Amino acid sequence: MTQAPAELAALQERMAELTDLGRIHAMLFWDQNTMMPPNGAGARADHSATLEVISHNKLIDPEVGRLVEALEPWADGEDPDSDAVRLVAAVKRDHEKAVRVPTQLAADMSHADALGQQAWQEARAASDFGLFREALERHIELRHRYVACFDDAEHPYDLLLDDFEPGLTTAELRPLFASLRDELVALVAQAAGEDGAARNDGVFSGPFEADDQRRAVMVVLEAVGFDPDGWRLDPAPHPFAQSLGPTDVRITTRYDLHDFGVAHFSALHEFGHGLYEAGIAPELARSPLGQPVSLGIHESQSRLWENIVGRSRPFCGWVLPMLREHLGPGIPAGVDADTFYRAVNSVQRSLIRVNADETTYNLHIILRFELELALIEGTLAVDDLPDAWNEGMQRLLGIDVPDDAQGVLQDVHWGAGLIGYFPTYTLGNLIAAQLWTRVEEDLPEIEAQLGRGELAPLSAWLQEHIHRHGRKFPPRELLERVTGDTLRPEPFLAYLRAKLADAGAL
Amino acid sequence: MTQAPAELAALQERMAELTDLGRIHAMLFWDQNTMMPPNGAGARADHSATLEVISHNKLIDPEVGRLVEALEPWADGEDPDSDAVRLVAAVKRDHEKAVRVPTQLAADMSHADALGQQAWQEARAASDFGLFREALERHIELRHRYVACFDDAEHPYDLLLDDFEPGLTTAELRPLFASLRDELVALVAQAAGEDGAARNDGVFSGPFEADDQRRAVMVVLEAVGFDPDGWRLDPAPHPFAQSLGPTDVRITTRYDLHDFGVAHFSALHEFGHGLYEAGIAPELARSPLGQPVSLGIHESQSRLWENIVGRSRPFCGWVLPMLREHLGPGIPAGVDADTFYRAVNSVQRSLIRVNADETTYNLHIILRFELELALIEGTLAVDDLPDAWNEGMQRLLGIDVPDDAQGVLQDVHWGAGLIGYFPTYTLGNLIAAQLWTRVEEDLPEIEAQLGRGELAPLSAWLQEHIHRHGRKFPPRELLERVTGDTLRPEPFLAYLRAKLADAGAL
């Protein structure tokens, strides 16, 4: 690398500050969702808004644009894979996206997101979509105004997607999800068990006290790589992971008295997210490159740990005696490793996305994608959304939706104005399977290792190929670098079919 | 109030933002001392520094000075007790203090504070003052440079005091502490029990499991006014209180297996701090007036709850059955209300300030005041500090100091560059007693109320006279408004003598 211009250090310093503000915002979010007393919400909203305004102003500062512009000619002559060159590109992207959106529109969206969540909460409590209709219309109107700030998209939905999965387009996603949908509908028809059976065939039905669940979860987490000196585990109603730095990773889980599966698989899921954040190269950590590159890649890490590892036959065999030791007779005596493995891979049609099994899960997502795309395209009116939802649940999963609370109102996302977010959940599943084909090539002993609870080689592989890069390579490029492949559903479908067959569901 | 100039709203908005940043900083501090995994410290230092720089730059912004200047002529014609007029005065003070200190000096001090704490930690661990000498010399040198930024102080120590107790002077404090010292030395000579006896005469010696202690503490706190919807209680090695807003108050305590008194009295102490923050008028909360006015007044609230309430005969009588119910046989069967009351008011010479009883406590503070004053005046060399400490402990408390760790190195304050802070602990005790004489006049039933655990009238009185004002009136003015009196030691000494006599120690 040639002598870097002075502008590079100036840009790095500004971006370090901006990154710190982002981490602080993460701290506020974590606290709000784990620790804050309920009456703290009012003041917290002010604190968040203040941080957001300060961060936004720092990002749109014309001096940032000037520094980027001054650095581009230099960057053109450097190694295109160097951190500095990638930093300039990332800042350029972030700055340009931010300056396109007028401050007033950003404030309106922020405001509508807060109001929309409130309206959604009331609507869900009353199971009455009518109470949410207006907020959703406002969100869609604002998204159209947002999209209009940019001029280079083929499809308006592309710009919404881009906020969560940079570079992915509607033109790619639509056929991909359509073929996945058709395959999954057929697979569910073959594999689904009895409607209304206990989740996980009852192996986790307990009852289990929260303290016992926590102890069991911690034993598993510490065995797979949770480091108490740099991580925390706390309960949260909607489990999430948050990182305040690679050595301060906070994950959460939820304890359901009658379903230890919730705590166990949520914890593995969030562990996967946490490991990504923990694995980012220290030299990137205090920069815009020091974060997960997209929600799809992020979700690939959580789903890999939750499903590909956590629901694999060898891991199930390894983990069962540990769980039994800490959960006692809550796990029925007749459950052996094979029963356990079959149980956690059982397929069931169900109403609620967050409770769905690995096979049906993506149909829940595809429904949401189809509906929000239609809303944005204007081919579906907000008033018709509940009917379209119910029709979709029948079409994709073959089940009747009894009410809006268990239907169209079940998720917070649309309430919070998050449109274009849902697809990333399924992307995560697809990418995880694509990565796993490489894992199996590079770590031929992986099955045996999972059976012995030796997760260090897998963690090291993930860090080497995914985590350490942070946001350095855009998601498409990252996937290609690691797998030599583009995003596609076949590896996921092959993986799923093989497992369902092995677990006796096919 | 006449139509306020547009500058008022502009100033208020800037100050609301600055207040939010202060609250966020409090959040980081709270998390760091209760929740953060140990390895999070490095990133957290960056986050704190970034917030500090942003806050500092917002405070010294010339536009703040211009707004204040523009508002002063208007303020001169308004009610001098109005919030707006007091806001302008408070911002003027903060802004002017901040702009006097060059950014480089502020950064040097910040840096030295961090290094000093580290050096102190190592020195205390090794019980070797020599390892801390250099850091302390650096602190003193920096304080002299800090003092030199201002030109209107009679004594250099005045400027250090002013950061913690605005407006108080060395000329006032020196004779006040000298007379208090002489009275207390005589009182301790009369009242002190056997050296080496168990603290609190063993009534709290347990052992008590932390979970049981926590339950007992919570029962007492909820009975006296801790609201779970707006407060939290967590363990912390050095108990503190922090408020993120009047409806988000975080207090902490510490659980010592063999001394429940630590948890009980720390919790009441921090509850007093928390109640102050919770009681600030909502209309001041998001402004520089929305915080406790000084450390002395803040400490008066904590000491009032810990000692004047918590160690009173009627409160002891009320609380003992509750503690017994939740702590079980850890409290010896023979302990009745009178024994309990005498035990928690026993007087003992001891080495460690934070463990000292109410009577000896202020001698620990006066020693520190005398020494830091001498260091700043240059009449005591840093090298001679340990000897001066040991001599002072002998002179004031009649005990030998076995080593530096239990002597001059016991507190973090000097390590962190906090010089001028210690006196506020004793101010708190004096002010609490002065306030209590007014409480007794205004609430003639207070003794009976304490005996029934009816704390609401006291809390309401404190909110009306102290809490709601936040930082609106400078501490001297606030004390005079409430008590019609100036700061003096007699009410404290009278209160203490009366209690020691009642508790059989005199």
Which alpha helices (DSSP H) does A406-455 contain, by range? 423-442, 446-451
| B78, amino acid identity | E
The ranges of chain A with pLDDT < 50 are none
Q: Rounded to an integer, what distance in angstroms lies between the CA atom of residue B54 and that of residue A158?
A: 36
Q: Which of residues 213-232 of B touch A (CB under 8 A)?
A: 227-232
Instruction: Give the 3-state DSSP-derived string for B204-270, with helices as H, strands as E and coil as C.
Output: CCCCCCHHHHHHHHHHHHHHHCCCCCCEEEEECCCCCEEECCCCCEEEEECCECCEHHHHHHHHHHH
What pLDDT, on a 0 to 100 scale, did the predictor assign at position A4? 87
For B354-379, the pLDDT digits (tens) are: 999 999 999 999 999 999 999 999 99
Tell me: pLDDT of B452 over 90.
yes
pTM for this model (two decimals): 0.95
Specify whether the CB–CB gap between A312 and A278 falls below 8 A: no
- At B151 the pLDDT is 85
Mind telling me how many Å the CA of A177 is from chain B's nearest CA? 40
Query: Tell me: the pLDDT tens digits for B392-419?
Result: 999 999 999 999 999 999 999 999 999 9
List beta partners, residue A243.
Answer: A249
Q: Is A134 a catalytic residue?
A: no
User: Can you spell out the DSSP letters for B432-464?
Assistant: HHHHHHHHHHH-TTHHHHHHTT--HHHHHHHHH
* Cβ atoms of A248 and B39 closer than 8 Å: yes
Would you state the pLDDT for residue A194?
Answer: 81
Looking at CA atoms only, how far is residue B425 from chain A in angstroms?
29
Query: Averaged over B2-25, what is the pLDDT?
Result: 95
- A153 CB near a chain B CB, below 8 Å? no
Q: Find all residues with CB under 8 Å of B336, minimum gap 6, and list them.
A: B320
Interval B33-83: pLDDT, tens: 999 999 999 999 999 999 999 999 999 999 999 999 999 999 999 999 999
In chain B, what residues touch A21 (CB-CB under 8 Å)?
50
| Whole-number pLDDT of residue B202 | 85
| pLDDT one-digit tens code per residue, B144-157 | 999 999 987 899 99
Q: What is the pLDDT of residue B225?
A: 97
Is residue A380 classed exposed, middle or buried when 0-12, 13-18 and 19+ CB atoms within 10 A define those classes? middle
Q: CA of B19: which chain A residue's CA is closest?
A: A47
CB-CB neighbors (< 8 A) of A53 in chain B: 17
Interface predicted TM-score of the whole assembly (ipTM), two decimals: 0.94
> Residue B109: pLDDT band by 50, 70, 90 thresholds?
very high
Give the pLDDT confidence score for residue A424 in this predicted structure: 98
A111/A123 Cα distance (integer angstroms): 18
Q: How confident is the model at residue B199 (pLDDT cuts 50, 70, 90)?
A: confident
User: Where does the pLDDT of residue B2 fall: very low under 50, low under 70, confident under 90, or very high at 90 and above?
Assistant: low
Chain A contact set for B24 (CB, 8 A): 24, 28, 47, 50-51
Q: Identify the residue among A247, A252, A291 best suited for mutation to test binding to B, counting B beta carbons within 10 A and taking the highest.
A: A247
- What's the distance, CA B176 to chain centroid? 19
